[in-house]
Structure 1
Amino acid sequence: MRFRLTDDQRALREGVRELLARCFGREALRAAVRAPGRLDRTLWRTLGEAGFFALRLPEADGGVGLGLPEAVLAFEEAGRALLPGPLVATHLAAGGVPGAARGETVVAAVDGELAEWLDAADVVRGDASGAVPLRSVDPLTPLHRLPGTAAPDPVAGLPAPVAAAPDPVAVLLTAAEQLGTAGRVCELAVQHARAREQFGRPIGAFQAVQHLCADLLVRVETARAAVYAAAVTADPADIAAARLLADEAAVRGARDCLQVHGGMGFTWEADVHLHLKRAWVRERRAGGGTQSEELLAAALAD
């Protein structure tokens, strides 16, 4: 099955990319890294004015009136740009929380063992009482751990906590962000392989590097097909499969991109490690890992 974007969808994707390049370019990214935990309210309102949070809100309610496929394209670009903030939670709150659609209200959500951006949020959906702040591996994503989410003690015979079913749209939009990260690290790896020289030749001329870049591209395009298909079908099993593939493409892709860059990829001057750290954090959101595996397994068993 082949999925082709319409002219309007391509224009939307290009428009979001241009908007983020203007409002959250590399200098803004670096400024955010130097001020961890601070949410740029001006950027948030700019996103709201552009309709980012109101994409799926009906026009009669002041929204853009588009669908899930268009939201996936927008969130893919957000992932590519490493845009910080509780984007998914605020998008899902549009129409339900006053000011969320316009970017005037920052909304965080409790949907797993970790909660993001609790201190910066105006509204927190879910019970966040007793949340304990953590030192996040990603400087652009402040985290809190929720009580009662620690791993069970098999010696004491404590049962594992029962997790609520995650919102399928939140799971898919997270997959779209992961897809954006996977596509970006693939681009960075190829660019570096072409520009960096060793022994008088670009390192991309060496077979080992070529294989890494080829594997990157395969994972990206496989995840892209799955995420776009899930956006069309909105089937829970399709969404679970898309999330698994997107998580793998983002995390393994960023690790392979680091390998292509060598030691310089770990330095603060490079952006590659930021993509890896964000991919790690997103992977821990509700719907990632074993939750998607269990949902997919149950669907296949039926």
Structure 2
Amino acid sequence: MIPVTVLTGFLGSGKTTLLNRLLGEPDLAGTVAIINEFGEIGLDHLLVEVTQERLALLDNGCVCCTVRDDLVETLKELEQRHKAAGLPQVTRVIIETTGLADPAPILHALMVEPDLMARYRIDGVVTTVDAVNGVETLANHPEARKQAAVADLVLITKSDLAPAAPVEAALASLSPTARRQLVVDGAVRLSDVLGLAAGTQWAERADEAVTHDHACSDPHCGHHHHSHHSSDIVSYAFVVEEPVRWADFRQWLEYFAALKGADLLRVKGLVNIAEEPERPLVIHGVQHIFHPPRRLDAWPSDDRRTRLVFIVKNIEREMIARTLSKFAHLAPEGIRSAAA
């Protein structure tokens, strides 16, 4: 299956610089960049140093429900167009969203469109946040907070121009298990940005994830125990001590997604299923859509407890724990918040 990397980030955060760097790598031959523009005339494609054969450009609108059909059709026709033109086989796709885009609809399309599910897989979400304006951007723009919340990797750009610590503090509460990395002028290694969704390293950090459910009135505060985003988006990490029955756990997921899907920005889980405890189940969800669960061949470490991470908007931690306890028939004391 063809891996798809979603590259997102707020206006001016360095997405195009990063994309230029990536597409210049010889090892990314066969990669197609899909750039989504906001406005009547596409401009960003003039800044992307890549041949026309490797570029698909979507004009008129951000990547959202109104443009998703265009994106789906582009992905469906991609291989056929390349083959008809005698171009190399498509080996990877990078979708760069506009700075005002919500990346969730892109992920939804890849997770539910049958034609896309058969040919493409989500390789990861990379979000750029710049060190110069990042704190204010995250504080003032919900789009930026959501882009950071769904990320597998957050690249902090322009760290040569401003200290990165305040931005890192703001990001810690938005997505505690996303890897954060400093980058200058788009210089990253391919191994840093590829293969993100395949890893379970985030699960090993779930115990260390701290729930930030209160806001600091000072947007320039660098204190790690305060969030910088008006507390509308928070992260919760849970550890479940006992194995769970898959039927019960799945019913809870379906119930919770139906009840709170719009505010369930992202869910990651490494689940110990009672029916097959030797092979953990990996779950990924974005709002009301969940990717088909995937079995690992073995546990990534000696820790075989279920680890769950929720990035949510206006959902209380107690509601998640209470409903999970009820549906999965677990004792409340067996569901431990990683912040406890």
Report the TM-score, using the length of structure 2 for normalisation: 0.29
Bigger share in helix: 1
Q: Which has more strand, going by share of residues? A: 2
